[in-house]
Structure 1
Amino acid sequence: MTGTAGASRGARTGDRRLGRAGVDETALRLFAEHGVAGTSLQMIADAMGVTKAAVYYHYKTKDDLVLGVLAPVFAEVRRVVERAQTQRSRSARVDTLVTGLIGIVVEQGPRYGVFNGDLYVAELASKDPWLQSAGPLVTELLLGPDPDTAGLVTASMFFASLTGPLRDPVLSGLPPEQLRAAMLDGAHRLLRIPRRPAGRPPGADPGESA
Structure 2
Amino acid sequence: MPARERLLAAALDLFAEHGVSGTSLQMIADRLGVTKAAVYHQFPSKDDIVLAVIGPALGRLGEIAEHAESRRGSAARHEAVLAGVVDLVVGFRRVSATLSYDPVVVRLVRAHPALRDLQRIRRLLGGTAPDPGSRVRMAVIAGGLMMAGADPAVAGLDDEDFRDHLLAAGRRILRG
TM-score category (smaller protein)? 0.7 to 0.9
Matched, 1:169 2:141: no
Q: If each structure's helix is expressed as a fraction of its own residues, which one has the higher value?
A: 2
Offset from partner CA, 1:116-169 (integer Å, 9 cap, x none): 5433223223333x3232333221111112112222122111111113333333
Shift in alpha-carbon separation, 1:79–1:116, aligned structure 2, 3 A? farther
The answer to whether the 8 A contact 1:73-1:115 is kept is no
| Deviation of 1:185 (Å) | 0.8
Residue identity over aligned pairs, in percent, reads 35
1:189 alignment counterpart: 172
- Aligned mates of 2:76, 2:30 — CA distance in 1: 48
Pairing 1:50-61 to 2, within 5 Å after superposition: 50-61=34-45
Counterpart of 1:43 in structure 2 is 27
Query: SS state of the match for residue 152, structure 2?
Result: coil
Q: Alpha carbon RMSD of aligned pairs, Å? A: 2.1
Q: Does 1:104 align with 2:96?
A: no
Residue 132 (structure 1) aligned with residue 109 (structure 2):
no
1:72-119 Cα deviation digits (max 9, x unpaired): 112222211111111121111111011001001111212244565433
TM-score, normalised on structure 2?
0.87
Is residue 85 from structure 1 mapped to residue 69 from structure 2 by the alignment? yes
Q: CA deviation at 1:36?
A: 2.4
In the superposition, the TM-score normalised over structure 1's length comes to 0.74
Residue 118 and residue 138 in structure 1: after superposition, are their counterparts in 2 closer, same or farther (change >3 A)? farther
- Worse overlay, 57-66 or 29-38: 29-38
CA distance in 2, matches of 1:64, 1:106: 24
Pick the structure with greater CA Rg. Answer: 1
Q: Which runs of 5+ in 1 are unaligned?
A: 1-16, 194-210
> For residue 71 of structure 2, what is the amino acid of its counterpart?
Q
Q: Distance in 1 between matches of 2:19 and 2:132?
A: 31
Aligned match for 2:163, one of 180, 185, 191: 180
C-alpha separation in 1, matches of 2:102 and 2:139: 16
